[in-house]
Amino acid sequence: MSRVDVRKTHKLFIGGAFPRSESGRTYEVTDAKGEFIANVAQASRKDARDAVLAARAAFDKWSSATAYNRGQVLYRIAEVMEGRRDQFSSEVQQAEGLSTRKAAQQVDAAIDRWVWYAGWADKYAQAIGNTNPVAGPFFNFSIPEPTGVVAAVAPQDYSILGLTSVLAPIITSGNAVIVMPSPSAPIPAITLAECLATSDVPGGVVNILTGAPAEVMPWLAEHADVNALDLTGIVDDAVAADVERQAAGTVKRVRQPQPHANWDVTPTLSRVRTFIEIKTVWHPLGI
Amino acid sequence: MSAPGSGNTDYPRPVSLLPTRSLTDTSNAGLKAYLHGLPGVDAVGLEARAATLATRSVKNESKAWAIDTAISMVDLTTLEGMDTPGKVKALCTKALRPDPTDNTCPSVAAVCVYGDLVITAREAVGDRIHVAAVATAFPSGRASMDVKLMDTKQAVADGADEIDMVIDRGAFLSGDYAKVYEEIVAIKEACGDAHLKVILETGELKTYDNVRRASWLAMEAGADFIKTSTGKVSPAATLPVTLLMLEAVRDFHTKTGTKVGVKAAGGIKTSKDAIRYLVVVNETVGEEWLNPDLFRFGASSLLNDLLLQRHRMRDGHYSGPDYVTID
Amino acid sequence: MTFEYAPAPESRSVVDIDANYGLFINGEFVDPVDGHHFKTINPATEEVLADIAEAGQADVDAAVAAARRAYDKTWSKMSGKDRAKYIFRIARLIQERSRELAVLETLDNGKPIRESRDVDIPLVAAHFFYHAGWADKLEFAGYGPNPKPLGVAAQVIPWNFPLLMLAWKIAPALACGNTVVLKPAETTPLTALAFADICQQADLPSGVVNIVTGAGETGRMLVEHPDVNKVAFTGSTEVGKAIQRAVAGTNKKLTLELGGKAANIVFDDAPIDQAIEGIVNGIYFNQGHVCCAGSRLLLQESIAEEVIDALKRRLQTLRLGDPMDKNTDIGAINSQMQLNKIEELTKSGEDEGAERWSPNCPIPDKGFWFPPTVFTNVTQAHRIAREEIFGPVLSVLTFRTPEEAVEKANNTPFGLSTGIWTEKGSRILWMANKVRSGIVWANTFNRFDPSSPFGGYKESGFGREGGVQGLGAYLHVEDPS
């Protein structure tokens, strides 16, 4: 007689903890064939509000950690994920209907991508920042700083690799993020949350809100304490346009939708660049 | 036309920023704490301010006035090893009547000579202009206190009514502020009624912070004038360093009510330069200082350039070296 | 005897202002299709300088079409090396005609000739010179081995540094291979039109640069034109938000450089005399019409009284008057509209209880003028501490500790620039690290350079202009993800 399994309650990930939605709502997630998998928490605007608070609180500490420290934390995420390779593979396979091999490849690529970004943490400043040879007796340097709190929509497919590719570049530079994973394939995101919770990532640096981006993103777009939006996973142009119009009210930096990006290829630094601010400092050179 | 804000009656006289304590302890420790407590000077900012002031354009009747004022502020100087009584007499004649073709031209403020030629100079100028003597082992200042005192007293006895002393830069740079202070106090006493200019030799002090400290040290010790340079070391007077010294004088006046003069010496060759200095005086300490009792130029060739410009304004065309005397 | 300096006017004869100007489209000056014109005046005298064409929809369409044609047929096919040479030509022509351009700028804008001559125009030439050199080196700029231009750029600029803002926009756009349609501000079109003449003298291919004069409507039409690939705007935060809304949902790339309310922070160990100069320069340079102006003076409380007194003493020597006089420090306010805004906000300062002071400045009868003004006893809650006045009005607040200074400096939706005055090196760097602004000036203020990226945090905008970072706004990078 086969064992009765213990089924997981899939909750939100806010401030390093796993609360249910304050609205109490859930929605059904099915596998690629339409079979029921689980009831997953459906985030509300109040959850979004709480996530912003958690993200803002975490931002100060995360952004003032040394780059070396951040790099080590990102690497640890990869370590913890490695240990859960099989779990991720089967969840990705279930969610996206991929073959075992393709699912495993996607998971491996995602883990390797965390490693790639871990290596960037203490280097991108050298690629993006510099001194400037101004025409006068001044020392002048430009440095990248994280923009603050970012609200992101992960791609609809590539449930772990797409999510990683959106998430990692945002936090590498010290930002805190609220990310909404693919509504139809959120389970790998929740497993990722568990990895984050056990890998030295300070609570609030990454917040994962499962649910409907079209419902929640407008609240985040208007929220005056969110600095930037990543609309990568939005497929509906009209929704993206509305959200961006709302974001204009507080001059947020907006990364445009890119729902069908090629996640398999090594990225450029473009995503890191989007969510940093360049600060330029002048000081006289004198005796 | 643009006019400056005027009406300096509408705001309270500024309480001096620097320093906030009085100088009561003139031991070396006390002086060090006092002087090192003065605010720093940002070199780039100071030089930028001087450069902006140098863009002021002074024309027509203002320029004519500035030229005459500058002439009246010149300490006509000869400080050469090869100076002779003949040279000094020629200098004095020119000092009294700079332009032989025009007796509306003002006299200079003073002649400036080595101590052993004071008698000759005083005989030549009578009481009409000042006779300033350099003293205290000018220009190096490296001699014993007795020698420096003797140098001073002799010059005063011979008829100098102004003494230009040098500070001990070695003592200053090694932090022996008390020695510098006490020397100035002693020389001031030896001057009797003669007024004392204290030469900081800014070219050897090197940093603007040092110039600020030396300025305050000299003023607290009783200087009537602070002077930039001996003219024997480069750089001598510059617009930024003079601006800095004028700021010190301004703040000292606010703090104590005493007006100290400033003399810019060495390296000022053209009327354009001289007018720039007057602009700096005007916009830093104000009109009160725009007279020979509170501002001087230590110069020799400057006088001829001022005369050439004076001719140009008078005659409407450019003049030439044949129309001014070589001494 | 007061040493007055006497009037020292720059000669106007170096400029030749036409009675009327057309639009510069496809390499030629053409009349606007609807025939509408407006006037541009000298704000110091209210004298009409010229009639300016007002571009309507048909004109904007023609300009964008010309830019598109030039991009497709000529400019995008040209090597970086050749593009560089055109831009170098432009830089040299600007240097050659610098006196004329400075006088023109002063007449149209109202800023003192000393500033347009010594600051604006030299920087304009420098911007073109700097960016010319990038045109054939883009593969080294950190945007991948083959960065491409975006296409047609629509650029809308403000009236405070007319030709300099034009340079900040056009130089990088051209260097990266884009063509442009630029709309100068309606009160200051003349130097942009002179620039068009310079493009002709440089034999720049027709349509690469187009200048459409007009007001807000023209700008809106330009920004909303469907065949534009990139929008760059410098101006008020309010209009910036409207543009971001208008551009949402299109594929247009956007950069914004908006308003500011910068904190100029002075510690008790600041080099005081230079700090005073920095304060004065920070808010009275260009009559305070500067987005990065140091409009909030944050004084350490322990030295506040002395600094304010020294500041007032210094303000007595500022010379306000004829902008064409070489000795003028403070020129005219750019327009009646701007003057009204300054007056309204200044009055709010008095109404809300701050103390107002100005030196006694004789004000000319004609033209738009506002004396340099200081408000003391200002706190964060006053309107004059929060809203951008864009005039020669300084609000003075105090702080007790470095942390408090940082908090107050950052406590604003803006984030363009910050000034820090202290002799302590570690504190300079600590403060620079903590303040949330795109520019930090430590022991200096209002320094600009084409190699130095400029732009804001938060509602001061996004994107940078200048330096290698500024190129990114005008490049399209093959981005798999």
Q: What is the CATH number for B118? A: 3.20.20.70
Q: Which residue, among C88, C83, C41, has the nearest Cα to C338 in the 3D structure?
A: C41
Digits of tens for pLDDT over chain C (481 positions)?
578 888 889 999 999 999 999 999 999 999 999 989 999 999 999 999 999 999 999 999 999 999 999 999 999 999 999 999 999 999 999 999 999 999 999 999 999 999 999 999 999 999 999 999 999 999 999 999 999 999 999 999 999 999 999 999 999 999 999 999 999 999 999 999 999 999 999 999 999 999 999 999 999 999 999 999 999 999 999 999 999 999 999 999 999 999 999 999 999 999 999 999 999 999 999 999 999 999 999 999 999 999 999 999 999 999 999 999 999 999 999 999 999 999 999 999 999 999 999 999 899 999 999 999 999 999 999 999 999 999 999 999 999 999 999 999 999 999 999 999 999 999 999 999 999 999 999 999 999 999 999 999 999 999 999 999 999 999 998 788 8
Q: Which residue, among C459, C451, C404, C408, has the nearest Cα to C291 in the 3D structure?
A: C459
Confidence (pLDDT) at B21: 55
User: Edge-to-edge strands of the sheet including A130-131?
Assistant: A130-131, A138-146, A276-284, C439-442, C417-421, C263-266, C296-300, C393-399, C373-376, C355-357
DSSP string across C177-209: T-EEEEE--TT--HHHHHHHHHHHHTTPPTTSE
Angle between helices C272-284 and C304-315 (to 10 degrees): 60
Burial class of C1 by CB neighbour count within 10 A (0 to 12, 13 to 18, 19+) = exposed
pTM of the model: 0.92
Q: Taking CB atoms and an 8 Å cutoff, what residues of chain C touch A277?
A: 438, 457, 462
Q: What phi and psi, each to the nearest 5 degrees, are found at residue C71?
A: -65, -50
In a domain, B310, yes or no: yes
pLDDT 10s digits, B238-288? 999 999 999 999 999 999 999 999 999 999 999 999 999 999 999 999 999
pLDDT 10s digits, A243-259? 999 999 999 999 999 98
Chains B and C form CB pairs within 8 A to the count of 137
Token digits for A142? 């430009």
ipTM score: 0.91
Query: For chain B, what is the domain count?
Result: 1
In a domain, A9, yes or no: no
Q: Do C443 and B45 touch (CB under 8 A)?
A: yes
Q: Which chains touch B (3 or more CB pairs under 8 A)?
A: A, C
The confidence band for B14, taking pLDDT boundaries of 50, 70 and 90, is: very low
Distance CA C72, CA C243 (A): 26
Distance CA C290, CA C306 (A): 27
In a domain, A191, yes or no: yes
In a domain, B322, yes or no: no
Q: Strand ranges (DSSP E) for chain B? A: 2-4, 74-77, 110-114, 130-135, 162-166, 195-199, 225-227, 261-265, 295-299
Q: Taking CB atoms and an 8 Å cutoff, what residues of chain B touch C118?
A: 55
Q: What's A76's DSSP letter?
A: H
What are the residue ranges spanned by the domains of chain C? 12-258+459-476, 263-449
Q: Which chains touch A (3 or more CB pairs under 8 A)?
A: B, C
A29 SS3 class: strand
Confidence (pLDDT) at B81: 96
Confidence (pLDDT) at A259: 84
Q: Which residue, among B157, A270, A157, A26, has the nearest Cα to C476 in the 3D structure?
A: A270
Q: Taking CB atoms and an 8 Å cutoff, what residues of chain A touch C468?
A: 130
In a domain, B1, yes or no: no
Confidence (pLDDT) at C481: 85
Q: Would an 8 Å CB–CB cutoff place A109 in contact with chain C?
A: no
Q: Would an 8 Å CB–CB cutoff place A287 in contact with chain C?
A: no
Q: Taking CB atoms and an 8 Å cutoff, what residues of chain C touch B291?
A: none
The confidence band for B8, taking pLDDT boundaries of 50, 70 and 90, is: very low
Token digits for B171? 């003592």
Q: What phi and psi, each to the nearest 5 degrees, are found at residue C477?
A: -110, 135
Compute the residue count for chain C. Answer: 481
Token digits for B95? 């000092």
Query: For chain A, what is the domain count?
Result: 1
Q: Would an 8 Å CB–CB cutoff place C355 in contact with chain B?
A: no
Q: What phi and psi, each to the nearest 5 degrees, are found at residue B277?
A: -65, -40
Q: Taking CB atoms and an 8 Å cutoff, what residues of chain B touch A138?
A: 44
Domain interval for residue A187: 26-284
Confidence (pLDDT) at B9: 38
Q: Name the stretches of chain A with pLDDT < 50.
A: none
Q: What phi and psi, each to the nearest 5 degrees, are found at residue A208?
A: -115, 120
Interface probe for A, chosen from B44, B173, B205, B212 (most Cβ of A below 10 Å), is B44
In a domain, B327, yes or no: no
| Domain C263-449 homologous superfamily, CATH | Aldehyde Dehydrogenase; Chain A, domain 2 (3.40.309.10)
Helix (H) or strand (E) holding B170, with range, is helix B169-173
Distance CA A145, CA A166 (A): 18
Per the listing, tokens 């005659």 go with B315
Task: Give the angle B115-B119-B122 at the CA atoms, nearest 5°.
Answer: 110
Active site residue C257: yes
pLDDT at B16 over 80: no
In a domain, B222, yes or no: yes
Q: Would an 8 Å CB–CB cutoff place B100 in contact with chain A?
A: no
CA dist list (Å): C178 to B29, C158, C184, C275: 67, 21, 18, 42
CA dist list (Å): B56 to C260, C371, C401, C454: 31, 20, 39, 31
From the CB of residue C273, how many other CB atoms can be counted at a distance below 10 Å? 27
In a domain, B219, yes or no: yes
Q: Would an 8 Å CB–CB cutoff place B45 in contact with chain A?
A: yes
In a domain, A183, yes or no: yes
CA B56 from centre of chain: 22
In a domain, A16, yes or no: no
Q: Strand ranges (DSSP E) for C280-381? A: 296-300, 319-321, 355-357, 373-376
Average pLDDT score over chain B? 93
Q: Which residue, among C185, C158, C190, C187, has the nearest Cα to C19 in the 3D structure?
A: C190
Q: Would an 8 Å CB–CB cutoff place B64 in contact with chain C?
A: no
Confidence (pLDDT) at B15: 46
In a domain, A4, yes or no: no
Confidence (pLDDT) at C271: 95
Q: Do C457 and A147 touch (CB under 8 A)?
A: yes
Confidence (pLDDT) at B181: 98
Distance CA C204, CA C93 (A): 12
Distance CA C349, CA C234 (A): 27
Q: What phi and psi, each to the nearest 5 degrees, are found at residue C319?
A: -105, 120
Distance CA A25, CA A211 (A): 9
Q: Do A138 and C444 touch (CB under 8 A)?
A: yes
Q: Strand ranges (DSSP E) for B195-304? A: 195-199, 225-227, 261-265, 295-299
CATH of the domain at A235: 3.40.605.10
Distance CA A285, CA A139 (A): 6
The answer to whether C51 and C32 have CB atoms below 8 angstroms apart is no
CA dist list (Å): A70 to A108, C140, C192, C327: 21, 28, 48, 55
The answer to whether A186 and A210 have CB atoms below 8 angstroms apart is yes
pLDDT 10s digits, B129-164? 999 999 999 999 999 999 999 999 999 999 999 999
Architecture of domain C12-258+459-476: 3-Layer(aba) Sandwich (3.40)
Helix (H) or strand (E) holding A278, with range, is strand A276-284
In a domain, A134, yes or no: yes
Q: Which residue, among A259, A50, A31, has the nearest Cα to A166 in the 3D structure?
A: A259
